[in-house]
Homo-oligomer: A and B are copies of this chain.
Amino acid sequence: MKDIIITIGRQFGSGGREIGQKISGALNIPFYDDEIIALAAEKSGMSSSVLKTVDEKAGSFLYSLSISTTPFGANASPIYEMPINDKLFLAQSEVIKDLAIKGSCVIVGRCADYVLRAQPHILSVFIRADIEHRINRKRPLNEGLAENKLKELILKTDKKRASYYNYYTSKKWGYAESYNLTIDSGLFGSDRTADIVVSAYKSLSEK
Contacts and interface: CB of A to CB of B under 8 A. Distances in A.
Contact of A175 (B123, B176, B199, B200): B176
Contacts of A175: 174-176
B179 A200 contact: no
A188 B123 CA distance: 10
B188 A203 contact: yes
Interface in A150-207: 174-177, 179-184, 187-188, 192, 195-196, 199-200, 203-204
Contacts of A203: 188, 192, 195
A17 interface: no
A33 to B, nearest CB: 20
Contacts of A128: 176-177
A57 B176 CA distance: 22
Contacts of A204: 187-188
Contacts of A192: 200, 203
A113 to B, nearest CB: 12
Interface of A: 11, 123, 126, 128, 174-177, 179-184, 187-188, 192, 195-196, 199-200, 203-204
9 nearest A-B pairs in the assembled complex, by CB-CB distance:
A176-B182, A180-B184, A182-B182, A180-B187, A128-B176, A192-B203, A174-B176, A126-B176, A176-B176
